Amino acid sequence: MARRLLCIWFARLASETSLRKRPVEGPFALTHRSGNADHVHCLNVAAHSQGVQRGMALADARAICPGLITRPADLGREAAALAALRRWAGRYSPMVARDGADGLMADITGVPHLFGGEADLRGDLHARLARAGLSAASAIAGTCGAAHALARHGGGIIPEGALAEGIGALPISALRIDGETAQALTRMGLTHIADLMAQPRAPLARRFGAGLLLRLDQALGHQPEPLSPEADLPRFSARMTFPDPIGLQADVMEGLARLLDRLCAMLAQHQRGARRLRLELHRVDHETAQVEIGLARPMRDANRIKALFAKGVDEVDSGFGIEAMRLAAHVTERLAPEQIGRGRPLRQEDALADLFSTLGNRLGFERVLRLLPAQSDIPERSFIIVPAAHSAPEALPPHCGPERPITLFPPEPVMPRGGSRPGHPPAMFRWRRMSFTTLRATGPERIAPEWWFDDPAWRSGLRDYWRIETREGPRLWLFHTPQAATWAAQHWFAQGEFA
């Protein structure tokens, strides 16, 4: 039986996925930054009809189509959508692999007769994709190279034994060669694949390398090109049924412990760690209660995971009893083998991760935050706030400049009393409705605004910071703006307090 391959090309997968939740009327494109410029990553039919092309610089696209609406491309979401389509395409073949970032390749040898033939198989494929709101082009040929080329240039079916005729009229770029090689061949007058097949092979190999002839031979079937589908991760889940319904929290937690032992053994076998787990409790009245938890870091320690379920299980209404339980780790990450067990002391980083997990399940992981250092002399930009569960602690960079306050807050006005000399901090001032007297002042430390950020708080220009020790006790961080038009009281501010 001759080998047959199906290639599916999703030309507008990213834009259609993005528009599904937030519809946009008119020309629309997703952009991706490459080098120092934004380029069109994906576009809809309306934008294509007005001359916008994929890969075009965004500035050129806006010149052609002034009404173009753009959004940044989410490459992670696009890859997830393609992975979901790869699993769905398993209805047509047991072997489905990715074909670049926007296509799928399936080995359908021996399958088309189940759908009534290759034409009916393509018809069923496109009908189902159309009902899902996705547009695609597809091609069936005897090699991966031919199916790839035809799918991206109109689609169709190449009969067995007609590879040369089927792809001969396609452009040279359809051979999956780099752009420079395709342009060089075009300048030589070799614009179609048929033109290339008629040329002597030795001069082509000397000038363009063996890769060009390899792609041509793969498309024509003279060189083998195996299909390597990605292995799907196993479903990490465990199930338990009870001879008699249970309802006590202690019984549920005991069943959960047994499920966790089985689930963690599966995770260890595949070197994975759970990030989110869902416990389903099936009651005798056919209702299902769910308890879902998240973890701050990948984990497969059954004892530590079990403790996080206690609060959720306690709030479950067991009704007339629970007859079955199912535990699934639906989000996992790679986790190298590690030593676990009851006799192993809990490391500090593990205890911190358990704290983040406990707080995250009660408050929400997006509300448990940590501060990370940032490379900036501007006090407000010297740190960033990120979710603790999705980041790792970073050591503070070595600080060689003046001391920084332990507490930082937005600038608050300071009112000098009794006047102040230009270039010196006030001898007496009021702050937060309290009066202070300056005992010692150290400074100034001049900080200039970062010109590449338009921050309204820094439009007054330079700031001169002083470390002030007061008679009343507080050690404050004061600054004034020397570029202000007049030396007025409102140009003194407090922004921090030292320990």
Pair (249, 149) in one structural domain: no
Q: For the segment 242-259, what is each residue's pLDDT rounded down to a tens digit?
A: 999 998 999 999 999 999
CA–CA gap between residue 221 and residue 2 (Å, rounded): 11
Range of the domain at 116: 1-232
* In contact, 482 and 398? CB cutoff 8 Å: no
**Structural tokens at position 286:** 């056919």
Pair (255, 282) in one structural domain: yes
Q: Give the three-state DSSP class for 289.
A: strand
Pair (37, 171) in one structural domain: yes
| pLDDT score at 88 | 92
SS (H, E, C) 447-479: ECCCCCCCCHHHCCCCEEEEEEEECCCCEEEEE
If 0-12 CB within 10 Å is exposed, 13-18 middle and 19+ buried, where does residue 408 land? Answer: middle
Pair (183, 261) in one structural domain: no
Pair (12, 159) in one structural domain: yes
At 424, the pLDDT band (50, 70, 90 cuts) reads confident
CA–CA gap between residue 280 and residue 241 (Å, rounded): 12
Please tell me which residue, 7 or 230, carries the higher pLDDT value: 7
Count of CB atoms within 10 A of residue 107's CB?
Answer: 20
Pair (345, 432) in one structural domain: no
Count of CB atoms within 10 A of residue 97's CB?
Answer: 18
Lowest mean pLDDT among 49-58, 87-96, 278-287, 341-350: 341-350
CA–CA gap between residue 420 and residue 427 (Å, rounded): 7
Number of domains in the chain: 3
Residue 342 lies in a domain: yes
The kind and range of the H/E element at 164 are helix 163-167
Q: For the segment 117-175, what is each residue's pLDDT rounded down to a tens digit?
A: 999 999 999 999 999 888 899 999 999 999 999 999 989 999 998 999 999 999 999 99
What one-character-per-residue DSSP string does 224-256 give? -----PPPPPPP-EEEEEEEEEE--HHHHHHHH
Q: 16-30 burial, b for 16+ CB within 10 Å, e for fewer?
A: bbbbeeeeeeebbbb
pTM check: above 0.75: no
CA–CA gap between residue 317 and residue 407 (Å, rounded): 46
CA–CA gap between residue 79 and residue 86 (Å, rounded): 10
Pair (216, 246) in one structural domain: no
**In CATH, what number is assigned to the domain containing residue 319?**
3.30.1490.100
CA–CA gap between residue 241 and residue 44 (Å, rounded): 50
Pair (192, 285) in one structural domain: no
| pLDDT score at 482 | 79
